[in-house]
């Protein structure tokens, strides 16, 4: 786990539904995908859709609410060379006003989330420390051995390692997983949050541990938006697959 806008062209894709010849859900999905691909007649078409989707994902991740119809109308006016409904000065002032209001709102939400995460994290770690098989280190890191490793060499911060992992919040919500992606992650302890770095140096190849990482050994007050909030305690299932020992 690592330490941690432009214009969009909004397209409407018309999907024709056949009233007869009913299809299975899988056939309908395949037909819809093929039909939507036919709307991309040029590279510019594909780029327009891709850029719009990418920008919308960014807005959603940042909690920015957009009136998509008005955004599309403004873009159409600009590309057509038509008269805009706002002057350049009004546009700049409106953007600044919204950004300031949005920043204040996010700060207030962040402060509330910080306090909630601190309280929940303290309770979780206190209760978890007393559970069977859970070991607590001097730093406050907690871990439980799911599977023992080879018992041989344990990596240093200089060594590259290959791992599988699954990251969850204490409410059980999964925010990252190499298992879902279908391929392991190659890294070394220098690039990882402190809790991970500490644990890896105690593990040997083949070991599989569950880590309970206090916020100060994870992402701290900054969090790792949009999935990890401020002062969040994290749970990682880590499987050390391979160590590339540096001489």
Distance CA 38, CA 45 (A): 10
Among residues 162, 146, 185, the alpha carbon closest in space to that of 244 is found at: 162
Distance CA 175, CA 168 (A): 6
**Which residues form the catalytic set?**
165, 175-176, 193, 219, 236
Per the DSSP assignment, residues forming a β-bridge with 243 are 161
Distance CA 84, CA 75 (A): 9
Q: CB within 8 A of 190, min separation 6: which ones?
A: 157, 158, 197
Find out whether 144 and 238 touch, Cβ atoms under 8 Å.
Answer: no
Distance CA 244, CA 144 (A): 24
> Judging by DSSP bridges, how do beta strands 134-136 and 160-169 pair with one another?
unpaired
Q: Could you tell me if residue 182 is left (phi over 0), alpha (psi between -120 and 50 degrees) or otherwise beta?
A: left
Distance CA 4, CA 141 (A): 19
Among residues 95, 152, 150, 123, the alpha carbon closest in space to that of 212 is found at: 123
Distance CA 177, CA 79 (A): 42
């Amino acid at each position: 786990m690592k330490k941690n806008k432009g214009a969009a062209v909004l397209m409407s894709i018309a999907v024709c539904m056949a009233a007869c010849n009913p299809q299975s859900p899988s056939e309908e999905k395949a037909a819809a995908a093929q039909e939507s691909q036919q709307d991309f007649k040029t590279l510019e078409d594909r780029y327009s859709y891709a850029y719009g989707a990418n920008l919308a994902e960014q807005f959603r991740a940042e909690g920015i609410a957009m009136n998509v119809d008005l955004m599309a109308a403004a873009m159409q006016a600009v590309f057509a060379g038509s008269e805009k409904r706002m002057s350049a000065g009004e546009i700049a002032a409106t953007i600044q006003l919204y950004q300031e209001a949005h920043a204040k709102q996010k700060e207030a939400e962040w402060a509330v989330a910080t306090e909630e995460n601190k309280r929940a994290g303290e309770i979780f770690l206190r209760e978890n420390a007393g559970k069977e098989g859970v070991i607590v280190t001097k730093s406050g890191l907690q871990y439980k051995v799911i599977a023992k490793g080879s018992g041989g060499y344990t990596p240093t911060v200089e060594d590259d390692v290959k791992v599988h992992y699954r990251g969850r919040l204490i409410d059980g919500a999964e925010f990252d997983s190499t298992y879902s992606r279908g391929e392991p992650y190659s890294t070394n302890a220098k690039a990882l949050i402190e809790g991970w770095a500490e644990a890896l140096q105690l593990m040997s190849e083949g070991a599989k541990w569950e880590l309970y990482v206090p916020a100060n050994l994870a992402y701290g007050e900054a969090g790792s938006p949009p999935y990890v909030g401020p002062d969040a305690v994290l749970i990682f299932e880590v499987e050390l697959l391979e160590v590339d020992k540096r001489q």
